[in-house]
Every structure is written in structure tokens, then in C-alpha cells.
A and B are shown apart, each in its own frame.
Chain A
């Protein structure tokens, strides 16, 4: 439907119609006019253009006003004949249609107004209000028509789910409305709304169709027969599922409209038709006086969703089409829209245009791959050429909006590549300009692929490097791009890329190993300058611990992410002065520079294993004070991994004397022992043959047994060590403490004063004695236990007495093993009298080193003087002891010889077992060799009860010097208790019933 065909119509009749009148009416469209509309819609300023027709030739079905032009100029003629004619004419006009009588003379007009009683509809042709009146009437006519059509459209839309409804017919109807609105200059947006509604309605239909399909599929699958299937999509939609035969771009095609109205169009035809209409309206709206920025930006903005919706709808409706046809169509439409956009400078570089351009690039890329148009290949095969011809033919003849490049591009790889690059670079530039860096770089990434195919790895590498910066922090993407980048690089840069890949933990170990071996290959080809690479890309510097002093060191902890072990030359630079600012400026972006390594800590080549590694770097030659700055690991003499310049710690030079440390294990006393003195040379080093005198304190003998020795030291560089081994025997004076510290004093020219060093010795064993008695015979037990927690061999125990003799029991000469937790005992039978001193000797062997242990004991008077015997028996008349029954304790005390003092006895019974009923203590006068006593005790419980104990002491009565009697205990072994540990069997008490 054409706008021209739906213009409002003004019919004219009467003799007054002439050229003047015609030009007068043609000015109707010259000026805009307020259009007030019902239903709360806001007023609009519109211009109305109308077509002029003679009354007889006027077309029907269009908004229309009728005019009657009278040529009558005098009132008499009016009255006699003209009035009747006019009245007849008015009667011939259908009701509801606007009309106007134009009279040649004002006075006739006045007359007509009063006589016809139509003051508004009679006007003089010279009246300036004439045009306004005509416009008003036209608008009224259009408004009426619009309302009528609007109602019809709404009614039809309500019926859309009824059977027999057809989208094509509905479209024709709504288009009438759109066309009508389109005739009003300034109301194009209203017309656009009609097309938008059509667009949305169709989209909804397709969407519903897809849902219906899905739901019915599920219901069918689950055999839910009792549920109603949704009604099938309307039959008119089926026509859109027909296979595509052509895929023309934008442009109005009268055949297409005919096909659409008759439900015979393809999906693309409908979409293209609607979009072209919308595009035309947008372009119409895009007049300078309109707010064009908003409107024109819609052109590109509307295009991309259209392309995506179509791509989806082709899928939903399961439309068949030759491979590539959809892409071809999308590229064609994009090119056309971009071509239109080019007319508006602000548009070409707008975001929607760039996005569209990007989209077209993707599609073009797919087409290129499909048709063998990409660079680097062998050109299209004959099948591909056929396909390209077929696709080109589907685009139709001569696209109206430009876009002939596509046909050309399909025909030749060169044209294709030119088109692709043009589009990609346009989109890339716009993205960059608008700050869409990621989109720009992603497109750059694709361009890189293209350039790589074209055999231009340098350009590809540039694009890829740029893309790599965009994906920082995205390991998956970094690795992906880096792997591609590695394909485009050579030499130094390739080595660095391979190293990064080998160190990227997101890759599989096998892949990393491949990269690693490739890296090793590349290194062989590099020239001697090698390459410098940031350390952090491959290693994590965990920690650097500087050790200052006369011996500068640094402990370095790094984590290697490489898949295999690598031999590197490590060095750690020491920055002795402030860094020079100029160096930073000359540092090109992203390149790591090796700083000044003239002062550094280093070591022999070391092997770095995958994972955590710790190594020590030493100062070589001169010492320096400064900041530890850069760590460098040089691999294969070619690749230098250098860490960023940083302050890793301060290292200083300290003037120092030679220091000594003692190195030894546990040293045992009483045995010859070896220990080391480590001389660490100070800043001045140690001269060859420097003498050191070592003095030992009392109790420690050095070397051959003296307490002083002199040693000579070899030449030692600063920070280096010399170790001297000494042998010493410690003979501690007493065995009181097990750990003894001896202070050595060293004097030499190395120090101004004596240098003290302390050495610790541990006494290996400890001994204790126990005296045992059997009647008059005495035994001595010596218990030897280890105090050094080491296993020792003991042999040749001897006991020397100051008086009397002793016999070892049993007599054995075999050495015994002393374990730390198992003491050993030796027993001697003694034949002694009176207090004596005993000296115990035993030989110790530890790791074939022999020593001796001895200790002395004092033994007091210990000869047996008194024998005690006690026995509990039932009281007379009873045979057995019973609980709670009185018993007798028979106590016998015998003296081995006459003693000159009295004895005190005390009965010590456990009160929970025994009740002593009579005397508990008494004094015995031992003037006779034996005493018998009977004491009364009562067992309180039944069972085997221990005997009540009897304690004997010397009783010194109160006489000269003291007012109270005195008790003196006997020494150990002097009283022998024959009934020690005896028990009494006590039966339970008899129950008295």
C-alpha cells in the first residue's frame, strides 16, 4: 500500500473551479497544524497533503471532503438560481462526509451563510480562513477514517486465535491504517507503531508456536492422554515454514507484499518487508527539524535484534535453506543498513552500527570458511563455487540499498577478504573509539586469525598481543590466546611465550611438557644475547631472607611452576645506591630489564625442581651493603628470568672477629670424648699458622692429659670455617649433678681478650647402695643406672672396703649391657665389723671408648644385735583367730650378746585391722638374753592380716643431764625381725544368733 494511494481527497465541483482555486488548495500541505485527537492522546503538529479530484473521478474508500466552487458574484443570481444548485449539491452528499461551499464574492458568502444556515461551511474564496477551514475538515475526515480503521484493526486482532484468521489479511488491514497515518507529515511515528505492532504480533505467534510444539512433545512423550494437547499453531503460520528459495535483502517488493497478504510468503520475505517499511518511516522521520539523533540511531539498533530474531525463528519454524543462506542474508541486510547509516556521519561510528558491523563480520567469517574464500587456503573448490553462485542468486537482482559488495565478495576471495577487513576494521575502530576495549580486542583476536591465515604472522602477533592484555586475570583465555600467539612468534618472543605456557598450571601436564621441550629447542637457536623474561611468569618468589654479617648470605625460597627440573645459575643483585630514575624511563613497556648485577650474591648452578625450592646464595668476593633487589635465574646461558626490581631486604657488612662455636653430640664424663671447635673467620680472615692456646679448668684434661694445649690454625678466608677436633676427659669431682659445664679459655692474637667457650659433659651412670641382712649375714647391693640415655657396656665391677672382706655374688666376669631404663645390680657378701668405707669401681665402654666409673659409700655400724620374733595366736580355748575375738601376740626379743642398755618396744598396729587391747609399749631390761611377752590384740576384720609391727629403740632413762628419758633408733641391720611380712589368717566372726 502506497502513501500516495492513501492521501486524503478533496473533490471539487461547480463553475467557480479554476487554476486559482487549484493553486489555493495545493497550498493546504504547506503549513503544519495542531491535530487534537480523542482518547487522551496528546495533540500533534501535522501537515496534511491532499489529492485533488473532480467530483466524478474521485476514488472511494479514502478520507474525503467535497467542495463546491460557485462563480456567482451578485446576490440576485444567487437568489434566483445558484442557491438551488447548491442546495441540490448538499443533499447529494452522504451523511457524515465533510463539505464546503466556496463562494466567489464575500457578500454572496454572507448571504449564503444566513440562508443555508451553515455558517461554517460557506466561505468566500477570498477569506484568509479558507485554508484553515479546509485543513480542519481534512483532519476531521482523516480522524474519522483513522478511528474507523483503528476499531477494525482492534476487532480483527481480537479474533486472531479464531479459525480462518490470517496474518496476511490482518497485515493488509493494519497497513491501511499505517498508510493513512503516513500521509500526515509529522505523524510517521504513529505509522511506525503500526508496523511495530505487526512485528511484535508475529514474533509472539512464532514464540507461541514453539512453546506449543514443546508442550505437546512432552505430553506425547509422557503419554498424558487425559490432558488436552494445546491447539496446533494456526495454518497460516505453515507458509512461513516453507523452504527458502531466495534471501533478498531490504527493499520493497510488490510481489512480496502480494505473497504476504495471500499467506504465501517466506519468513525472510515478511521480515524484510516489515523492516523495510520501518526503515522507510524512520528515514522519513529523520528530517533535520526532527530530533534526528534519537531516531536515526534506531536504524542500526533495530537491525541487530531483527537478524537475531530471524535466525531464531528460522530454527523454531524448522525452515529449510541451503547452508550459508541465512548468514548470507544477514550480511546483506547488515551491509544495507550500514550503507544507509553512512549517510549520517554520527551513525557510522555509533555503537549500534559497530555492533552490527561486528555481527556481519562473524557471519562473513562463517561464509568465508564455508565457501573457501578465506586466505591461505587453496581457493574455493568447484562445489564451493557452485554454492557461492547459488547463494548469490538467492540475493535477487540489484539490491536497492547498496550492498552489491556481497555478491562480488561471494565471487572472489580477494573481494571477500577486502570486504571482511573493511568491516572488521570499521567495527574495531568504533569499539576502540567508544571505549569498548574488550569487544575491540576480541574482534582483534579474530582479525589475528585472519591475518595468520593470510600469512602475516607479524600483524597477527600484534593483534594477539593486544588481545592478551585485555584478558588479564582470565587464565583460560590467557592460555588460549597465548597458545595462538606462540604460533605467530619467533626467536626470543617465542621462547618467552613457550615458557609462560609451560608454567601455566591450567594446562595439562603433558601439554606443558611439550611446550617445555619446544622451549629447550628454541633456546638452542637463540643468539648469545638470549632473552630476559619476568621471573614471576614462571616462578613465584616466596621469600628472600638476608643474613647480614661478615658472611653475607641470602636464603631464597621459590616455587617453580615448570613441569620439569631445570638447572639455573642463580644470582641476587645488591643495590648499593639509589636507583637512577632515567633507567625506568628508558624501559620499554612490558619489558623486564636486568638491573645492575655488579654487586650480587650467587652460587654454583642449582637444580630447581617443580614446586618449592630453597637455596642459599653467598657473597662472592667483596661484601656490599644495600638492598637485595633482583633475583636472576639464568637457564642454559640463554634465558634470564629476572624478578621485578624490589626491596627484598637489607644486607649489610659488619666488621667481625673470628667466632667459635662448639659442635658436639652428648659428651660423656669419665670417658675420652671428641668435640669440634668451629672457627668462623671474621672480616680479616685467619693467617696461616695462627696459634691458639686452649686452657681447661680443673676436672677436665685435654689431649694427652694436660690442662693446656696449643693448636695452629690454617689460613682461612673471611666468612669461611676451620674446624679443630679436640679430645678431652672430664672427671667430675662428685656425682652430685649429672650435667657439668666446663669453661675453656682460648687466647690468641685473633682476639684482644681471652675467648671463653663452654663445653658440657654428662655423667654417664649413677650408683646407689642397699644393705641387706639375713640373720647375721650382710649383703651389699650396688645399683647402677644410666643417666645419659645411652647404652653402655659395664665390666669388671670391684668393691674395695676399708676394713673387712667381701665376696661378689655370683662371680661373673662377663660385661653387662646397661640400658637407659634398666638399672643393673651387683651384690657382694660382706664380712665386716664396725663402720667402713666402700669404693665401687666399674669399667665403662661406649663405642669402643673405655672409661671408668667409681664412687664411694659410707657404711655405718651394721652388725645384727637383736632378733625379734612375734606370733599371733588365738586366745586360750580357741583354735583359730576370728574377727572381733581376742588374740594373743607372743613377742620374743633376743640379744645376740649382752648389751648395756634397756629397750623400748612399741606395738604399731594398723587401726583399721587391729585393736590393741592391753599395753601398747613397754621397756625391757636386757639383762637376760631372751624375753617373752604376751600382748592382747583383736583383729577387726577377717582375712590374711599383716602382723602388727613391733618397733624397738634404745631406751636411755632420765638421769644425769636430762630430765626426760631418751629414745634412740637402731641403725640399719642392727635389729633383725624374723617374722617380718608374716600374715595371720583371721576367720570371720561367729554370728551370735
Chain B
């Protein structure tokens, strides 16, 4: 399913980046980082257009020959980015949304932990486990 999952903080610095293939980590870091341009664009466009109800799912941010990059932003400006393989043609938009919702919920669990300092990178085992599952395809 997903080949890379990233959580990016309010200040656009990464809080969590995990890739299915550790050899491609640098490549994915660049991809995710680059997609932030589109996230910012979409956020400012969303901010202008809508009132109270905000769509958190930003949809497809970028696509390359090999990968598709999707985005999601919480109300506190935490960005989630999921990279999938373009070859995976059976992946539906709704499934990507589901992954994001799932991610959001585990992220909320992480920040609810009183011992977690929100300015630090995420190192929660439960979060890691969920992300691993997402990447293994058992959502």
C-alpha cells in the first residue's frame, strides 16, 4: 500500500518519516519535502475558500513516474504525507483517505501521551506499528 509515511510539524520540519525500503530514505525525504510546496498552496487556497468545515484531506499532491504523493493536514497544521506506488493501480482514493484517518487517530494518541513533548520527533511504538501495518498493506 503505502511505501512511505511522514508526519510533518507546524514548522514544516519532519517529526516522523518511515519508508518501506530504507535504501530509498533520502529519495523519499526529498519527495515529501518537495510536496510541502503543494500542501502550502492547497492550505492557503482552502483557507480562503471554505468557512468552518475544513476538508483535512488534500488529495494528490504530486505524482512521478513511480510514485503518487498524497497529503492531509490537521487543524493544528500537522501534515501527514503518504507516498504510494504509481504501479499500484488498484488503490482507490477512499483507501488513501482511510489511511490518513487512521494515521490521524494514532497521532492523536501519541500527543495525548503526557510524556510526549510535541516538539520532539515521534518515537511511539504503537504509532510505528500502525505505520508498519499500513505499509505492509493490512490497514
A315 touches B87 (CB 8 A): yes
Determine the chain A residues whose CB is within 8 A of the CB of B29 once the complex forms.
474, 476-477
Q: Is the CB of B37 within 8 A of A211?
A: no
On whether the beta carbons of A437 and B26 are closer than 8 Å, the reply is no
CB of A312 closer than 8 Å to a CB of B: yes
Pairwise interchain contact B89-A474, C-beta atoms closer than 8 A: no
| Distance, CA A438 to CA B41, complexed state (A) | 12
- Residues of the B chain whose Cβ atoms lie less than 8 Å from the Cβ of A435: 37, 41
Known: A308-B63, A312-B87, A474-B14. A437 touches B33 (CB 8 A): no
Return the CB mask of A930-962 against B: 1 if under 8 Å, else 0.
000000000000000000000000000000000
Contact call A308/B64, Cβ cutoff below 8 A: yes
CB atoms of A211 and B90 under 8 A apart: yes
A interface, how many residues as a size bin?
20 to 34
Interface residues as binary, B70-102 with A (CB distance below 8 Å gives 1, 0 otherwise): 000000000000000011011000000000000
| Cβ-Cβ contact count across A and B, 8 Å cutoff | 54
From A355, which residue of chain B is reached at the shortest CB distance? B62
Given A473-B11, A473-B14, A476-B25, residue A207 in contact with residue B30 (CB < 8 A)? no
B26 pairs with A311, CB closer than 8 A: no
B86 A473 Cβ-Cβ under 8 A: no
> B65 is contacted by which of A211, A308, A437 (Cβ under 8 Å)?
A308
- Residues of B with C-beta under 8 A to A473: 11-14
**Is A316 close to B, CB under 8 A?**
yes
Asked if B34 is at the interface of the complex by the 8 Å CB criterion, the answer is yes
| B125 CB → nearest A CB, Å | 22
B25 nearest CB neighbor, chain A only = A476
Decide if A477 touches B65 in the complex (CB within 8 Å): no
Say if the beta carbon of B36 comes within 8 Å of chain A. yes
Minimum CB distance partner of B38 in chain A: A436
- State the main secondary structure of chain A at its contact with B: helix
Q: How far is the CA of A207 from the CA of B14 in the complex (A)?
A: 34
Given contacts A308-B64, A473-B13, A480-B26, contact A438 B36 (CB under 8 A): yes
A472: B residues at CB distance < 8 A: 13
A708 at the interface (CB under 8 A from B): no
Bound Cα distance A442, B34 (Å): 7
Cα distance A315–B85 in the bound complex, in angstroms: 13
B34 CB contacts on chain A under 8 angstroms: 438-439, 442
Give, as a whole number of angstroms, the nearest-CB distance from B121 to chain A: 10
In Å, the complex CA distance between A315 and B87 comes to: 8
| Chain B 5-20 interface mask (CB, 8 Å, partner A; 1/0) | 0000001111001000
Structural contact, B89 and A211, CB atoms closer than 8 A = yes
Give chain A residues whose Cβ lies under 8 Å from the Cβ of B33. 438, 442, 470-471, 474, 477
Is A210 in the interface zone, CB < 8 Å from B? yes
Assess whether B13 is in contact with A312, with CB atoms less than 8 Å apart.
no
Q: Which residues 470-506 in A have Cβ within 8 Å of B in the complex?
A: 470-474, 476-477, 480
User: Does A477 lie within 8 Å of B30, measured CB to CB?
Assistant: yes
Chain B CB within 10 A, most for which of A211, A305, A315, A476? A476
- Who on chain B is nearest to A477 by CB? B29
For B63, list chain A residues within 8 Å (CB). 305, 308
Q: List B contacts of A315 (CB < 8 A).
A: 87
Select from chain A the residue with minimum beta-carbon distance to B44.
Answer: A435
Q: How far is the CA of A435 from the CA of B13 in the complex (A)?
A: 19
- Taken together as a complex, chains A and B put the C-alpha atoms of A545 and B17 apart, in Å, by 38
B25 vs chain A, min Cβ distance (A): 7
CA distance A470 to B33 in the complex (A): 9
Chain B residue numbers with a CB within 8 Å of A207 are 89-90
What is the bound-complex CA distance between A673 and B64, given in angstroms? 86
* Cβ-neighbour of A439 out of B13, B25, B37, B86 (below 8 A): B37
* B contact residues around A211 at 8 Å (CB): 89-90
A146 to B26, CA, bound (A): 55
In the assembled complex, the CB of B120 is this many whole angstroms from the nearest CB of chain A, namely 13
Picked from A312, A471, A480, the residue with its CB within 8 Å of the CB of B86 is: A312
Residue of A nearest to B9 (CB): A473
Choose among B17, B33, B63, B64 the residue with the greatest number of A CB atoms under 10 Å from its CB: B33
| CA distance in complex: A476, B14 (Å) | 10
Most buried by A among B17, B25, B30, B87: B30
B30 to chain A, nearest CB (A): 6
Question: What residue of chain B has the Cβ atom nearest to residue A470's Cβ?
Answer: B33
A480 to B65, CA, bound (A): 23
Interchain CB contact under 8 A, A308 and B25: no
Query: Closest Cβ of chain A: how far from B93's Cβ, in Å?
Result: 14
- B25: chain A residues within 8 A (beta carbon): 476
Which B residue's beta carbon lies closest to that of A445? B30
Contact of B87 among A316, A436, A439 (CB under 8 A): A316
CB-nearest residue of chain A to B36: A438
Q: Shortest CB–CB separation between residue B101 and chain A, in angstroms?
A: 25
A774 to B25, CA, bound (A): 95
Q: How far is the CA of A472 from the CA of B8 in the complex (A)?
A: 13
List of B residues within 8 angstroms of A470 by Cβ: 33
Separation of A474 and B90 alpha carbons in the complex (Å): 32
- Give Cα A477–Cα B29 distance, bound, in whole angstroms: 7
Nearest Cβ in chain A — how far from B90, in angstroms?
Answer: 6
Complexed CA–CA distance, A437 and B12 (Å): 13
Bound together, the chains give a CA A438 to CA B64 distance in angstroms of 16
Query: Does B37 lie within 8 Å of A438, measured CB to CB?
Result: yes
User: Closest B-chain residue to A210, C-beta based?
Assistant: B89
B100: shortest Cβ distance to chain A, in Å? 21
Q: How far is the CA of A316 from the CA of B86 in the complex (A)?
A: 11
**Cβ contacts B23-43/A at 8 Å (1 or 0 each):** 001100110011011000100
Known: A207-B89, A308-B63. Is A474-B13 also a contact (CB below 8 A)?
yes
Tell me which residues across on chain B come within 8 A of A438, comparing CB atoms.
33-34, 36-37
- Chain A 269-308, CB-CB to B under 8 Å as 1, else 0, gives 0000000000000000000000000000000000001011
Expressed in whole angstroms, the minimum distance between the Cβ of A451 and any Cβ of chain B is: 19
Return the CB mask of A431-471 against B: 1 if under 8 Å, else 0. Answer: 00001111100100000000000000000000000000011
Closest to A327 in B: B65
Contacts of B17 in A (CB 8 A): 476
A483 to B: closest C-beta gap in Å: 11
Q: Which B residues are CB-close (under 8 A) to A471? A: 33
Contact of B30 with A442 in the complex, beta carbons under 8 Å:
yes
Closest chain B CB from A340 CB (angstroms): 22
Least distance between B7 CB and chain A CB atoms (Å):
13
Most A CB atoms within 10 A — which of B12, B30, B86, B89?
B89
- Complex contacts, A474 vs chain B, CB 8 Å: 13-14, 29, 33
| Residue numbers in B under 8 Å from A210 (CB-CB) | 87, 89
Interface centre among B14, B29, B65 (most CB of A within 10 A): B65
CB distance from A123 to the nearest CB of B (A): 54
Contact string, A182-214, partner B, CB cutoff 8 A, digits 1/0?
A: 000000000000000000000000010011000
A301 to B135, CA, bound (A): 30
Q: Is the Cβ of B65 less than 8 Å from the Cβ of A312?
A: yes
Give A286 to B30 CA distance when docked, in angstroms: 37
**Interchain nearest-CB distance for B77 vs A (Å):** 14
Q: Which residues of A contact B13 (CB under 8 A)?
A: 472-474
The answer on a CB contact under 8 Å between B86 and A308 is yes
Least CB separation from B63: chain A residue: A308
CA gap between A435 and B41 in the complex, in Å: 9
Give every chain B residue within 8 A of A476 (Cβ-Cβ): 17, 25-26, 29
Cβ–Cβ < 8 Å partners of B65 in chain A: 307-308, 311-312
Q: Mark A603-642, 1 if CB is under 8 A from B, else 0.
A: 0000000000000000000000000000000000000000
Task: Give A480 to B87 CA distance when docked, in angstroms.
Answer: 28
A sample of 5 cross-chain residue pairs with beta-carbon separation below 8 angstroms, ordered by A number, consists of: A308-B64, A312-B65, A438-B33, A473-B13, A476-B29
Which residues of B pack against A, CB within 8 Å?
A: 11-14, 17, 25-26, 29-30, 33-34, 36-37, 41, 63-65, 86-87, 89-90
Excluding A308-B64, A474-B13, A477-B30, 19 further A-B contacts by CB distance (< 8 Å) are A210-B87, A210-B89, A307-B65, A308-B65, A308-B86, A311-B65, A312-B87, A312-B89, A435-B37, A436-B41, A439-B34, A439-B37, A442-B33, A442-B34, A473-B11, A473-B13, A476-B17, A476-B26, A477-B29
The 8 A-B pairs at the shortest CB distance, nearest first, are namely: A473-B13, A311-B65, A436-B37, A207-B89, A438-B37, A476-B29, A438-B34, A439-B37
